[in-house]
Amino acid sequence: GGPAVRLESPEGGGGRRGGGAVPPTRRYRLRDGCWVLCALLVCFADGASDLWLAAHYYVRGQRWWFGLTLLFVLLPSLVVQLLSFRWFVYDFAASTKDSAGSTKDSARGPRGCCRLCVWLLQGLIHLLQLGQVWRYLRTLYLGLQSRWQAEHRRRHFYWRMMFESADISMLRLLETFLKSAPQLVLQLSIMVQQNSIEPLQGLSASASLVSLAWMIASYQKVLRDSREDKMPMSYKGAVVQILWHLFTIAARAIAFALFASVFQLYFGIFIVTHWCIMTFWIIQGETDFCMSKWEEIIYNMVVGIIYIFCWFNVKEGRSRYRMCIYYVITLSENAALTVLWFLYYDRKTTSDFDALILVCVVSSSFALGIFFMFIYYCLLHPNGPMFGPHSGGCIFRQRPAPVPGSPTDAVTSPPRSLPRTTGGEREGAPGERDSCVPVFQVRPCAPPAPAARAPRTEGPVIRIDLPRKKYPAWDAHFIDRRLRKTILALEYASPTTPRLQYRTPGAPQEVLEYETTV
């Protein structure tokens, strides 16, 4: 089973070859390494503060809070470690089989001992719940190697670094919303019930909040960096996106904590109902993230958990309309939960002044989050500022002239060499901001001439018998580990970096060429 993969030489094979101009090779920069180190620090702070707080509850004899705090740390961590180790087992077993040639003969001698040591080391790392830490360090190592190696080796290490970045982003996103999100609500609820904030509680809640906001922005950045048909997100945009999610999630979590401190049973009913509605909304949207139907359903259920706390785009289309609907619902829910708490909170433990302060914190935090969201979309969006010298905003939007001959099914690896999304392509993708219908028509001035891209014809092509997934999904070679293994092997054996080409929908003359497999 699996997709057919074909390595085609420049002279061999017929049919249209996708391609593009060869851009300057993207190098691993110092800021990329600093970003990984900051992500590792956030991961450490989140886990360590929760464990420290759990030990604090145990020492003080608060066994109920100790049990819940420890449960929200260990259970999600076990799930993520099992998934990470499963990925390692497949990747290492596949690479060992390919490199050894004969597993039986190579099992003897030094090479077999080395493989056994790797198995034991990885088992110990994941048993100690340090799988994500190892993957962060491996990402940093591969990125530095891509700077220090020779030209061909540098491209190979950069390619592997992008794969590892995708893995750790998906793992950490799953962990934060299974662990940090409920942990944040739990600690805020305890603070409200006790009418006091202990330093460890504040540290744990702050670390969980930063971890949630960081991983949403980091996931989006890595996803955009991996997509050849999208402009990469700048670090300024990533920081502003962190602030956007930081304040909106903070308002959401505080509203949850206030309501849960008075209505525990109804809060549970509300969370389950909201999750079911959001999951059904995502499923009926027919997302295309995973390689099988059941994996897609499980993924949609996890995204339903994310939707309890913040917006997460999962489908190509008019995302700004869906996002507006989501935030209107969120604002209404936050207001209803906060008002109900204000009407029924215990006047003996909380004064009216403190209650008004909490209500103002919820409303101002949500407003600040929406403000940073507008800053991101208006000034720092990767597709260009909404209000700039050539954009004219979303009201006076002019569509740039399409670049002729821009293929949409070719991916060049690494680095980025597919022509970016052009105006003509945006017309067929209504989910982009640039596709909004202009309200006022203005006389268009002469647009700047786009930089022409000469078609790239040299070098081998790796042809994949799959249609390319639409953004914001990962490309198949990032989520299908068999496909990833094959591409890495072909890329390593090729003297020049191959281009990737997915099957073009609606081109029957090319379909027959994909029947040959390697």
Q: Measure the CA–CA gap between 90 and 350, rounded to whole angstroms.
A: 55
Total-model pTM: 0.80
Amino acid at 87: W
Tokens of 410: 């070719």
Instruction: Judge whether residue 297 has pLDDT over 70.
Output: yes
What's the chain's average pLDDT?
Answer: 80
What pLDDT is attached to residue 155? 80
Q: Measure the CA–CA gap between 375 and 483, rounded to whole angstroms.
A: 39
Q: Measure the CA–CA gap between 420 and 411, rounded to whole angstroms.
A: 11
Tokens of 104: 């039986």
Residues β-bridged to residue 5: 464
Q: Bin 415: left if φ > 0, else alpha if -120 < ψ < 50, else beta.
A: beta
Taking only the tens place, the pLDDT of each residue in 341-397 is 999 988 888 889 999 999 999 999 999 999 999 999 999 988 877 655 444 444 334
Cα 507 to chain centroid, rounded: 32
Taking only the tens place, the pLDDT of each residue in 53-72 is 999 999 999 999 999 999 99
Give all strands (DSSP E) within 443-487, no chain letters.
461-467
Q: Which tops the pLDDT comparison, 486 or 402?
A: 486
**Average pLDDT over every residue of 258-281:** 93
Nearest CA-CA partner of 187 in 177, 202, 176, 209: 202
Q: Measure the CA–CA gap between 181 and 205, rounded to whole angstroms.
A: 9
Q: Measure the CA–CA gap between 56 and 274, rounded to whole angstroms.
A: 33
Q: Measure the CA–CA gap between 413 and 158, rounded to whole angstroms.
A: 9
3-class DSSP state of 101: coil
Taking only the tens place, the pLDDT of each residue in 195-233 is 888 999 999 999 999 999 999 999 999 999 998 888 899
Give all strands (DSSP E) within 413-511, no chain letters.
461-467, 499-503
Q: Measure the CA–CA gap between 300 and 277, rounded to whole angstroms.
A: 12
**Average pLDDT over every residue of 322-338:** 94
Could you tell me the residue ranges of all domains in the chain? 27-98+114-232, 233-384, 460-498
Taking only the tens place, the pLDDT of each residue in 463-497 is 888 888 888 889 888 888 888 888 888 877 777 77
